[in-house]
Amino acid sequence: MTKIISPSMLSADFGNLQAMCEMINASEAEWLHFDVMDGVFVPNISFGFPVIEAVKKHCRKMLDVHIMIVQPEKYVQRFAKAGAGVLTFHYEATENPDEVIRLIRAEGIKVGICVNPDIPVKVLEPFIEKVDMVLLMSVFAGFGGQKFIEETYSRIDELKEMIDRMNPDCLIEIDGGVTLENAPKLFAHGVNVLVAGSTVYNATNPQQMIIDLKC
């Protein structure tokens, strides 16, 4: 089973992003996670295109871009141009998820769809066959360093059942409150990609933490 760690840049030292890229390049992380927040869909503002473009120049890992923005359809092309390898939008943030999926596909990059913890997993069913990844938030989108919501496990099981039935190649990603304690259980439930922000960047040895999260 695929096990991928995608450290979230949100918890990195923004004053030294080149050092972060070098750390990530030399680490066992397969992806690097970007949290783009617009202050409308979520009550926080993070960063946008120039930061992704700058990091892209130095980072050799796949850029896993999670957009917490309203009207994602407006910006798909620019995220693809900035270097996104997988672009994940929120189901709740658009009136037309099918159109967003179509636009991302047209850019030739991987498509992810995401829901917050209060959205029933069932709403994703019509999209499972059309996407490469489903991201289930295990905290409410908006801030790093929150506590993992335990109900996430039953949501993963429900999603996994749909994926096995409809599109077994579709990856499951979990984002929020991932720690050394819950990582093995998450992988055991069938998760493929773990996003980890504070757990990686607050570690004394982030590269070792990335290895330990995969065990």
* Structural tokens at position 69: 């923005």
- Using CB under 6 A as the binding criterion, the count of chain residues that bind ligand DX5 stands at 22
Contacting residues for 188 by C-beta, under 8 A, at least 6 apart = none
Q: Report the residue number, 28 or 167, with the smaller CB distance to ligand DX5.
A: 28
Contact call for residue 61 and Zn ion (CB under 5 A): no
Smallest gap from residue 9 Cβ to ligand DX5 (A): 8
Smallest gap from residue 165 Cβ to ligand DX5 (A): 27
Among 72, 97, 112, 176, binds ligand DX5 (CB under 6 A): 176
Contact call for residue 72 and ligand DX5 (CB under 6 A): no
CB 106 within 8 A of CB 128: no
The angle subtended at Cα 143 by Cα 51 and Cα 108, nearest 5°, is 45
Instruction: For residue 38, indicate whether it is catalytic.
Output: no
The secondary element (H helix, E strand) that includes residue 106 is helix 97-106
Smallest gap from residue 154 Cβ to Zn ion (A): 21
Contact call for residue 8 and ligand DX5 (CB under 6 A): yes
Which of 38, 64, 132, 175 is catalytic? The answer is 175
Smallest gap from residue 84 Cβ to ligand DX5 (A): 15
d(CA 119, CA 82): 29
CB 197 within 8 A of CB 28: no
CB 192 within 8 A of CB 172: yes
Contact call for residue 197 and ligand DX5 (CB under 6 A): yes
Contact call for residue 35 and Zn ion (CB under 5 A): yes
Contact call for residue 48 and ligand DX5 (CB under 6 A): no
d(CA 112, CA 194): 14
Q: Which x/- pattern, by CB under 5 A, does the window 128-167 give for Zn ion?
A: ----------------------------------------
Instruction: For residue 132, indicate whether it is catalytic.
Output: no
What totals of helices (H) and strands (E) does the chain contain, helices first? 8, 8
Helix (H/G/I), strand (E/B), else coil: 132: coil
Closest CA to 65 of 49, 48, 87, 44: 87
Contact call for residue 33 and ligand DX5 (CB under 6 A): yes
Which of 13, 35, 64, 164 is catalytic? The answer is 35
d(CA 178, CA 145): 9
Q: Which stretch binds ligand DX5 (CB under 6 A): 100-108, 117-125, 138-146, 180-188?
A: 138-146
A 10 A CB-CB count for 56 gives 18
What is the set of active-site residues?
Answer: 35, 175
- Residues in touch with ligand DX5 (CB under 6 A): 8, 10-11, 33, 35, 66, 139, 141-146, 175-178, 195-199
